[in-house]
Amino acid sequence: MQKPPPVYNPEFVARPERDAGYQHFVDAAAHPFAPMVVDPIPRINAWWMAEASLATYWEPPGAAAIYAAAGLDCEFVTAGSTDAYIAVAPDWLVVAFRGTEPDQWQDVVTDAGLALVPWSTGFVHCGFSLAVKEIWAALTDALTRLAPGRQVWFTGHSLGAALATLAADKYPETRGVVTFGSPRVGDGAFAASLTARFGGRMQRFVNHNDIVTHVPPPIFGYKHVDLARYIAPDGTVSDDRPALAHFFTALIGHPLELPRMMKASEPGAAAFHPQFVLDHMPKAYAIWCWNNYDSEAGGP
């Protein structure tokens, strides 16, 4: 059954965990994840990954309850300011990186934050690189225990999507990676290498004019990985970019405007909220991914 279109709420852009009315992983048991099926990634898998990404915004007790409702055990991994959940099923697991809070966007788009640093191939955002390196020892220790006999997937929303992209590239046994509302992660060489490695085993979802997908801007050397799936305002998912030439500078001007706009979506902030800010709401990705799957499955 199709879900009603998302009601865009600025509070749930900034603080998804305050949405007490959303029901996570509804009927998950009747629509199981397909861990071995890739290229292209099944629509049902994209929905599972969207729900897993959304759950990362809850603190560990709340997130554990959400994952448990889908039949998944949960382990919280943290180091410094980087957090991830490993949600575990009998034959697969997903590493879901937590997104960011509005005041953290300043670190992404300052002059220092825009610097590119060497990666295994090409160059990537210095802050994203440091965050993945910060958590890597703890994460790989957990995967050493949990991954044998399981297919390993990576996901995340917002900055969590950027970290999932790098972690999937760094981990040698990645089966698939699905991200939502991801900023640009690295330069053209990195993007080309990642696209060549994963092919149809990777999807990057963009909800219409989601503002975060426009940073860091290409003028600083950044380029998106390919394999994008674009969500139109009516929820249609396709490879077609929005008709509007929505370049970042045309939308909000200087990159430093992004922290102000994201901060304005905090609860209680009296501000106008453009649709391209509301499009970043993680719940919208989960709803549209479910409806995309349901339309394929022939739901009523």
Domains contained in the chain, CATH given: 38-297 (3.40.50.1820)
For the chain, the distance separating the N- and C-terminal CA atoms, rounded to the nearest angstrom, is 5
Alpha-carbon 232 to chain mean position? 17
pLDDT digits 0-9 by tens, 21-61: 999 999 999 999 999 988 889 999 999 999 999 999 999 99
Tokens of 205: 């979802």
pLDDT digits 0-9 by tens, 153-196: 999 999 999 999 999 999 999 999 999 999 999 999 999 999 99
Q: How high is the pLDDT of residue 110?
A: 47
Q: Is 185 strand, coil or helix?
A: coil
Q: How high is the pLDDT of residue 138?
A: 98
Question: pLDDT at residue 256 above 80?
Answer: no
The whole-number average pLDDT for the span 134-155 is 98
Share of the chain above pLDDT 70, in %: 84
Higher pLDDT, residue 275 or 167: 167
Q: How high is the pLDDT of residue 218?
A: 85
The whole-number average pLDDT for the span 202-210 is 94
Q: How high is the pLDDT of residue 105?
A: 54
| Residues contacting 35, CB < 8 A, separation 6+ | 89, 91, 92, 150, 151, 153, 175
Within 10 A of 207 (CB to CB), how many other CB atoms are there? 27
Question: pLDDT at residue 103 above 80?
Answer: no
Q: How high is the pLDDT of residue 113?
A: 64
Question: pLDDT at residue 299 above 90?
Answer: no
Q: How high is the pLDDT of residue 6?
A: 95
The whole-number average pLDDT for the span 215-235 is 89
Mean pLDDT estimate for the chain: 87
pLDDT digits 0-9 by tens, 125-134: 998 999 999 9
The whole-number average pLDDT for the span 270-297 is 87
Q: Mean pLDDT check: name the lowest of 125-134, 245-254, 255-264.
A: 245-254
| Residues contacting 6, CB < 8 A, separation 6+ | 281, 283, 284, 287, 288
Q: How confident is the model at residue 258 (pLDDT cuts 50, 70, 90)?
A: low
Share of the chain above pLDDT 90, in %: 68
Instruction: State the Cα–Cα distance between residues 3 and 115, nearest whole angstrom.
Output: 41
